[in-house]
Amino acid sequence: MTEEKYTKFEKARILGARALQISMGAPFLVKLNENDLEDLRFNPIEIAKKEFEVGVIPITVKRPYPISEEYKKGKEKEGKSEAS
């Protein structure tokens, strides 16, 4: 499994995006022989899952940082002083 923890929604988005790439002809990022492909039934989603387990999918997730209450209060003060 990859080191970074993903939510189930992020994982679904990553797998979906990678499966689409595979279905459009992108090369596999893991070594799969003919027997492996038959076991996976040549399914792009299953291939993407295998790549995700190994941790080789070059897709990252950008998460917004939460805005703290102190930051919000500071912005409110700046707005009031500029309006005066």
Domain range spanning residue 39?
A: 8-83
Look at residue 82 in the predicted model and tell me its pLDDT: 56
Please report which residue ranges of the chain form alpha helices under DSSP H: 8-23, 34-39, 44-54, 69-83
Is residue 13 in a domain?
yes
Q: Residue 74: which CATH number?
A: 3.90.940.10
Residue 14 lies in a domain: yes
pTM of this structure: 0.71
Instruction: Specify if 60 maps to a domain.
Output: yes
In a domain, 1, yes or no: no
CA distances in angstroms from 72 to 46, 76, 81, 84, listed in the order given: 44, 6, 15, 19
- Report CA-CA distances (Å) from 71 to 5, 18, 65: 27, 37, 12
The structural domain count of the chain equals 1
Predicted confidence (pLDDT) at residue 81 exceeds the cutoff of 70? no
Position 39 in a domain: yes
- The residue type of 82 is E
Q: Give the pLDDT mean for 5-27.
A: 96
